[in-house]
Amino acid sequence: MAPVKKILIADDEADIVEIIRFNLEAQGFQIESASNGIEAVEKAKKHLPDLIILDIMMPLMNGMDACVEIRNHENLRHSMVIFLTAKNDELTEVQALELGADDFLSKPIRPKVLASKIHSLLRRSSSDETSQALETADLRINRERFTVQVGGKEIMLAKKEFELLALLASKPGKVFLRNEILSQIWGTEVIVGDRTIDVHIRKIRQKLDLDCITTVKGVGYKFNPGT
């Protein structure tokens, strides 16, 4: 029997938390909740949820800052993150995704849509986890542990940065089209633009300080083996 998936709901509106809790517990999920960003980070570190639902506008620490704290914690790199917000604008969505969120949902909450997104993300997460380590020259990528090392030194990457690097490195020399990258990393249900990919690639290059990703102008990106 598959283990019960754990979900953390962080929102300062108690009625929203209860609506989400009721619908997700009915589907067999184990639920924890938090009413502010600081509590969300503390409970995430304690319970290590498979997925975290973060409201953006929360007291003490907002959802975006909480996401940064969560993404920087070694034991939470596998956790999926969905942002909830009353702000329905492209800039907020892009900022959320660039911080490492896996999806974005505007309020008012539609429980069936949220549940669909959760099931989709958890399926994708399960299929992405492998025990295989990818190595080339000074670079080592461990997909099971979500770790990256350059010359034996561990480099901290945000979750989407890691997934993007691992995707490119999985087939050295192959040119991954932009649409292909968007589909495999962000999924077909999340709408993001080319700028999001470019920002993540730039951050990966800066953090690794390696010439291992080549831009194929107007097409996509490829990983260079042995560089």
Amino acid sitting at position 195: R
Residues 178 and 112 in one domain: no
Residues 137 and 192 in one domain: yes
Residues 157 and 199 in one domain: yes
Count of alpha carbons within 13 angstroms of residue 182, beta-carbon side: 16
Average pLDDT of the segment spanning 84-112: 79
Residues 115 and 160 in one domain: no
**What is the domain range of residue 113?**
6-128
Q: Count Cβ atoms below 10 Å from residue 31 Cβ, excluding itself.
A: 17
**At residue 41, does pLDDT exceed 60?**
yes
Task: Give the position of tokens 């669909």.
Answer: 116
**At residue 77, does pLDDT exceed 70?**
yes
Q: Are 192 and 186 contacting, i.e. CB atoms less than 8 angstroms apart?
A: yes
pTM of the shown model:
0.63
Per-residue confidence at 107, pLDDT binned at 50, 70, 90?
Answer: confident
User: What one-character DSSP code corresponds to residue 170?
Assistant: H
Per-residue confidence at 127, pLDDT binned at 50, 70, 90?
Answer: low
Amino acid sitting at position 55: D
- Flag whether 1 is in a domain: no
Average pLDDT of the segment spanning 82-109: 79
Query: 18, 58, 21: which is closest to 37 by C-alpha?
Result: 58
Query: 202, 206, 185, 182: which is closest to 194 by C-alpha?
Result: 182
